[in-house]
């Protein structure tokens, strides 16, 4: 009979201790046979609180906003089989948005878990999770030897945060979790100290020279700046350069929306004023902004066609995709670049008075809320409702959104000041993100208050997490925009099939949602409804005063348009045309467009009028 010594420790116990050493206070997950040792050890150790969600994708989504809220890693604990597959959506979402997180996945007994195993299924529920996930993580590994457990986890956590962040995945078979070995036998990972990736001095000086020569320069700022820990330096840069700044949707809350140089958010669903600034610029400096298609449109030749474009990014692949449209790609950490640019640009780049006056004119002539957002059919327009929300935000307001109405209207209209945050999924854009995201943000803020903007369709994707909110009595203010199904896809069907009818997007076409007030009662959550402006202020005051979870339905027109938007338009001759980025629908009259376009009106735009 074998005997264990007093110096031997169970691997799962040692992992629980390691989580404390790494400062991981929260882990989101669901228990199963594949991770039962980890759950038991972590709970008994007492440092890391396990938040039991009701679907594994909620765990990997909550993991994201937890980090985004206060910059500290959270873990997701997945079991084998369906537990691992369920978690994939949140992992891909984190991968798309460069958000770090540590996924610890269980698996079957290690004797089955070999890449040489030709069977589709390993043991009872097992399969090769590492092979499945390795293309959408920064690091994915299986711990085959108990002595390597701490090493793999420490290395994974380091990689998750290094350079361009992202999720990591460490699979630990059940037999490894339950193994015992001497403390001295554990291998440990010691990362090498690497300085931030700094730009070359020559590249920075070329940018300074370009800024000084430009008559109409603009900064285009992305979430990579926050990931680099450079939001404070960014504020100083914007003040010092004194030129217009645009922010990506993921970077909206980096700068005060009321700052005189912050013009707004450009793109396919951008604000008119922001798009006019971008399209009339003569020099664009993009920092930490991956310039995704929803920002730049589909035709690069039409993007800021009078401007040269320089891009600063930690990932060289994000620069190469722009091809010849890019003048220079600067491979650097966004924070290191901002610091170098601030130093090199002193005492200044010269006043751009005419350009700044023109930008102010755009904001006055094309406000964020316009006639296209008028109420219709007796329903509240969701854009105007978002504008009303701006007036009830608290100084430390945290807002997360799901997709559809919540995303589009919120990111076009909501304004944020110092201490306020906005988070959503912009890369994968998965419905169902809102509820788990609110949970992650709340736990990261010591079970603090979060406003979650959701829609009737998105609610159904992770509805079960209402119970997680109720169980912990999280003060999450949940707004549900009720528009009879999938409003964005209704508009897609109308555009593609010429209003031939809906399929799978409305109650009459096969998709229905429940009565959310009755559902709220089933979960024991107070519920409110807003159907008109006469009750709006009073209900908003009650919702914001609530100390626990609360649901508020906002009923909107089931056919309401999302505008302004870059849309296909028809010429008088019946030809369909995709206009350039400055020509959002509904189209402005030609004289107004001519006055706005310093670089001239595109021939496509002329053909539409």
CA 83 to CA 500: how far, in whole Å? 41
Q: What is the pLDDT of residue 141?
A: 97
Is the domain of 390 the same as that of 316?
A: no
Structural element, H or E, at residue 217 = strand 217-221
Task: Find the Cα–Cα–Cα–Cα dihedral 331, 337, 343, 349, rounded to 10°.
Answer: 80
Residue 1 covered by a domain: no
Residue 584 CA to residue 578 CA, distance in Å, equals: 10
**β-strands 75-78, 26-29: how paired?**
parallel
Give kind and range of the element (H or E) at residue 211: helix 201-213
CA-closest candidate to residue 156, choices 228, 90, 220, 104: 104
Output the pLDDT for position 5: 54
Question: Above 50 in pLDDT, residue 1?
Answer: no
Pick the last residue of a domain from 539, 555, 571: 555
Quick check: is 587 in a domain?
A: no
Mean pLDDT on 274-292:
98
Quote the percentage of the chain above a pLDDT of 90.
92
Percent of the chain beyond pLDDT 70? 99
Q: What is the SS3 assignment for 78?
A: strand
Strand ranges inside 7-56, DSSP E? 8-10, 26-29, 49-52
Q: Does position 459 have pLDDT exceeding 80, yes or no? A: yes
Measured distance between the N- and C-terminal CA atoms of the chain, rounded to whole angstroms: 90
Question: Does residue 606 surpass a pLDDT of 90?
Answer: yes
User: Which residues does residue 400 pair with via DSSP β-bridges, in sequence order?
Assistant: 423, 452
CA nearest neighbour of 439 among 452, 427, 426, 429:
452
Whether pLDDT at 311 is above 90: yes
- Assess whether 454 and 401 both reside in one domain: yes
Question: Per-residue pLDDT averaged across 148-167, rounded?
Answer: 98
pTM for the model stands at 0.96
Bridge-based pairing state of the strands 569-570 and 576-577 = antiparallel
Question: Which pLDDT band, with edges at 50, 70 and 90, does 300 fall under?
Answer: very high
Residue 603 lies in a domain: no
Q: What is the CATH number of the domain that holds 429?
A: 3.40.50.970
Residue 575 maps to a domain: no
Q: Which helix (H) or strand (E) holds 284?
A: strand 283-287
445 and 344 in a single domain? The answer is no
Judge whether residue 2 has pLDDT over 50. no
Residue 149 corresponds to which tokens in the numbers above? 């457990």
Q: Tell me whether residue 109 is in a domain.
A: yes
CATH number at residue 226: 3.40.50.1220
pLDDT in tens, 467-526: 999 999 999 999 999 999 999 999 999 988 888 899 999 999 999 999 999 999 999 999
Task: Verify that 435 and 534 share a domain, yes or no.
Answer: yes
Q: Where does residue 230 rank: exposed (0-12), middle (13-18), buried (19+ CB within 10 A)?
A: buried
pLDDT per residue as tens digits for the range 12-55? 999 999 999 999 999 999 999 999 999 999 999 999 999 999 99
On whether the CB atoms of residues 30 and 79 are closer than 8 A, the answer is: yes
pLDDT of residue 500: 85
* Tokens, residue 519: 């559902």
Residue 515 burial class via C-beta count within 10 angstroms: exposed 0-12, middle 13-18, buried 19 and up: exposed
Q: How many domains does the chain have?
A: 3
Boundary of a domain, candidates 555, 586, 603? 555
Tokens representing residue 189 in the block = 């990972």
For 535-576, how does the pLDDT look when each residue is reduced to its tens digit (9 = 90+)? 999 999 999 999 999 999 999 999 999 999 999 888 888 888
Burial class (CB in 10 A: 0-12, 13-18, 19+), 135: exposed
Of 185, 218, 251, at which residue does a domain stop? Answer: 185
Find out whether 119 and 131 touch, Cβ atoms under 8 Å: no
pLDDT tens for 94-151 read 999 999 999 999 999 988 888 888 888 888 989 999 999 999 999 999 999 999 999 9
Mean pLDDT of 359-365: 98
Name residues whose C-beta falls within 8 Å of residue 6's C-beta, 6 or more positions apart in sequence. Answer: none
Q: Are residues 387 and 518 in the same domain?
A: yes
pLDDT, mean of residues 300-322: 95
Helix (H, G, I), strand (E, B) or coil at 379: strand
- Residue 421 and residue 530 share a domain: yes
Which tokens is 601 given? 């009106």
Residue range(s) defining the domain that contains residue 96: 8-185
Q: What is the pLDDT of residues 315-335, one digit of tens each?
A: 999 988 899 999 999 999 999
Domain assignment of residue 578, yes or no? no
In this predicted structure, the answer to whether residue 3 has a pLDDT above a threshold of 70 is no
Specify whether 19 is located in the same domain as 73.
Answer: yes
User: Within this chain, do residues 417 and 521 fall inside the same structural domain, yes or no?
Assistant: yes
Tokens at residue 262, please? 């912050």
Kindly report the average pLDDT of the chain as a whole number.
Answer: 96
Q: Is residue 569 in some structural domain?
A: no
Do residues 173 and 42 share a domain?
A: yes
Residues 540, 514 share a domain: yes
Is the residue at 164 inside a domain?
yes
Q: Do 244 and 178 belong to one domain?
A: no
> In whole angstroms, what is the distance from residue 394 CA to residue 375 CA?
26
Distance from C-alpha of 483 to C-alpha of 324, rounded to nearest angstrom: 43
Q: Tell me the average pLDDT across 179-183.
A: 97
Same domain, 426 and 338: no
């Amino acid at each position: 009979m074998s005997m264990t010594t007093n110096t031997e420790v169970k691997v799962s116990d040692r992992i629980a201790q390691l989580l404390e050493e790494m400062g991981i206070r929260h882990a989101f997950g669901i228990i199963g046979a594949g991770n039962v040792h980890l759950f038991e050890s972590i709970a008994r150790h007492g440092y890391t609180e396990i938040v039991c969600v009701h679907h594994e994708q909620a765990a990997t989504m909550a993991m994201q906003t937890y980090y985004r809220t206060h910059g500290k890693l959270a873990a997701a604990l997945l079991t084998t089989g369906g537990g691992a597959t369920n978690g994939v959506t949140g992992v891909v979402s984190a991968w798309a948005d460069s958000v770090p997180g540590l996924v610890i996945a269980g698996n079957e007994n290690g004797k089955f878990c070999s890449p040489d195993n030709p069977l589709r299924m390993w043991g009872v529920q097992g399969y090769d999770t590492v092979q499945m996930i390795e293309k959408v993580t920064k690091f994915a590994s299986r711990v085959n030897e108990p002595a390597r457990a701490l090493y793999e986890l420490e290395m994974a956590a380091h990689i998750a945060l290094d350079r361009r962040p992202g999720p990591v995945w460490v699979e630990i078979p059940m037999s490894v979790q339950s193994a015992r070995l001497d403390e001295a036998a554990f291998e440990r990972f010691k990362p090498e100290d690497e300085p931030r990736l700094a730009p070359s001095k020559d590249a920075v000086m070329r940018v300074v020279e370009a800024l000084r020569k430009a008559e109409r320069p603009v900064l285009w700022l992305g979430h990579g700046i926050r990931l680099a820990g450079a939001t404070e330096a960014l504020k100083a840069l914007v003040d010092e350069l004194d030129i217009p700044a645009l922010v990506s949707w993921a970077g909206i809350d980096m700068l005060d929306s009321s700052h005189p140089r912050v013009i707004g958010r450009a793109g396919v669903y951008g604000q008119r004023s922001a798009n006019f600034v971008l399209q009339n610029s003569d020099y664009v400096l993009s920092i930490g902004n991956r310039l995704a298609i929803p920002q730049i449109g589909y035709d690069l030749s039409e993007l800021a066609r009078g401007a040269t474009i320089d891009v600063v990014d930690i990932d060289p692949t994000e620069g190469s995709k722009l091809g010849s449209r890019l003048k220079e790609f600067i491979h650097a950490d966004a924070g290191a670049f901002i610091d170098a640019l601030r130093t090199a640009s002193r005492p200044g780049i010269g006043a751009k008075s005419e350009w700044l006056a023109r930008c102010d004119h755009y904001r006055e002539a094309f406000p964020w809320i316009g006639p296209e957002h008028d109420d219709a059919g007796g329903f509240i327009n969701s854009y105007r409702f978002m504008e009303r929300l701006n007036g009830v935000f608290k100084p430390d307001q945290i807002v997360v959104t799901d997709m559809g109405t919540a995303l589009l209207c919120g990111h076009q209209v909501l304004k944020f000041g110092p201490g306020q945050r906005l988070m959503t999924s912009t890369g994968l854009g998965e419905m169902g993100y809102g509820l788990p995201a609110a949970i992650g943000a709340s736990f990261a803020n010591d079970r603090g208050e979060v406003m979650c903007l959701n829609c009737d369709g998105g609610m159904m994707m992770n509805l079960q997490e209402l119970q997680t909110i109720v169980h912990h009595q999280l003060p999450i203010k949940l707004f549900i925009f009720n528009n009879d199904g999938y409003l964005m896809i209704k508009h897609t069907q109308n555009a593609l099939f010429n209003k031939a009818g809906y399929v799978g997007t409305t109650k009459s076409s096969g998709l229905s949602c429940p009565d959310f007030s009755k559902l709220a009662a089933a979960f024991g959550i107070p519920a409110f409804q807003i159907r008109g402006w006469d009750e709006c202020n009073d209900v908003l005051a009650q919702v914001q005063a609530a100390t626990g979870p609360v649901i508020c339905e906002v009923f909107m027109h089931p056919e309401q348009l999302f505008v302004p938007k870059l849309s296909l338009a028809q010429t008088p001759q019946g030809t369909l045309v995709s206009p350039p980025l400055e020509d959002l629908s509904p189209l402005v009259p030609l004289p107004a467009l001519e006055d706005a376009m310093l670089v001239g009106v595109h021939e496509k735009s002329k053909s539409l009028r």
